[in-house]
Amino acid sequence: MPELPEVETTRLGLMPLVNQTVAKVVIRNASLRWPIPADLPSLLSGRTLKSLTRRAKYILAHFDDGVLLLHLGMSGRICLLAEDEPPQKHDHFDVRFTNGQVLRLRDPRRFGAVLWAGKDPQQHMLLSALGPEPLDDAFNGQYLHQQLRSRSVAIKIAIMDSHLVVGVGNIYASESLFRAGIHPQKSAKALTRAQCERLVAEIKSTLKDALAAGGSSLRDFFGTDGNPGYFQQQYFVYGRANDKGGEPCRVCSAPIKMIRQGQRSTFYCENCLSQKTIRSSK
């Protein structure tokens, strides 16, 4: 699933559409995770796109009288194309602009979303209960330590909870915990204030590094221009082990370990943790 760096990379790739006017909206298949509203063509036609922002893993397209909410789901991507580019099998939704460009949602598994959020998107059901952005000042060691005091779940599960902090998915949770020298199975409430400070710093650092690399392209993610991200080339642990064994750790050369947590694969280096080796932020 695309995580925060991939969604932000997509948002930045769509910026040429700001201040452009919608010529036409095409709905080819409305049956996504939530049905695409049938009145979107009439709502958006003739409207000017004022700005593009992001909240968690959602892209918010701001128009004069409301906000269009976009989500990539498990395997979706948003393409920025020329208007004469023919649609492919899984191209479900277009916003065509008068400058000849098209915003197109391509989503083979149809877990994405195209929804109208009205004039106050922060009150929308998908956004109203979200935690702070990980790169904002509100997400700090004091906040994390306070929030974890009553949570007995494993720390990796905790930081993937969007009510605690948004945008830290499976990839970046594993990478951040490795950099911070914290075992992914450690009880969240057992973290000290110093560990919370270090983990927050590494979450921010990991996400910034991923943003600089254009996100991660594993199976489905490509930017709006069709180019992949490159952060997967910098992974310390994620995806570097399977049931048959692990690749050598880039810090200590011991094999990377894989376990299952919350139906997701978790990757870590047992030797680095036992030696209290910490991959510091840049």
What does the DSSP assignment read for 201-251?
HHHHHHHHHHHHTT---SSS---TTSPPP-GGGG-SSTT-EETTEEPBPTT
Q: Mean per-residue pLDDT for 252-272?
A: 94
Does the active-site annotation cover 57? yes
pLDDT average, residue stretch 137-150? 97
Asked whether the predicted pLDDT for residue 281 surpasses 60, the reply is: no
Q: What is the DSSP letter of 26?
A: E
The whole-number pLDDT of residue 54 equals 97
How many alpha carbons fall within 13 Å on the CB side of residue 109? 12
Banded pLDDT at 223 (limits 50, 70, 90): very low
pTM of the model: 0.89
Q: Please tell me which residue in 83, 151, 264, 270 is annotated as part of the active site.
A: 264
Q: Return contacts of 219-224, CB within 8 angstroms, 24+ apart.
A: 219/75, 220/2, 220/74, 220/75, 220/76, 220/77, 220/108, 221/2, 221/6, 221/77, 222/77, 223/9, 223/10, 223/13, 224/10, 224/13, 224/14, 224/77, 224/78, 224/79, 224/80
Return the number of other C-beta atoms located less than 10 Å from residue 110's C-beta.
17
Dump pLDDT digits (tens) for 53-100.
Answer: 999 999 999 998 999 999 998 888 899 999 899 999 999 999 999 999
**Above 50 in pLDDT, residue 228?**
no
- Is 217's pLDDT higher than 60? no
Of 1-10, 11-20, 273-282, give the lowest mean pLDDT range: 273-282
For 27-84, give the DSSP string.
ES---SSSPPPTTHHHHHTT-B--EEEEETTEEEEEETTEEEEEE-TTT-EEEEEETT
What's the half-sphere exposure (Cβ side, CA atoms, 13 Å) at 138?
7
Whether 2 is catalytic is: yes
The per-residue pLDDT for 3 is 84
For range 221-226, the mean pLDDT: 46
Which residue among 55, 57, 156, 257 is the active-site one?
Answer: 57
Q: Which of 37-46, 193-202, 270-279 has the lowest mean pLDDT?
A: 270-279
Separation of alpha carbons 139 and 157, rounded Å: 17
Give the per-residue pLDDT at 2: 76
pLDDT of 282 over the 70 cut: no
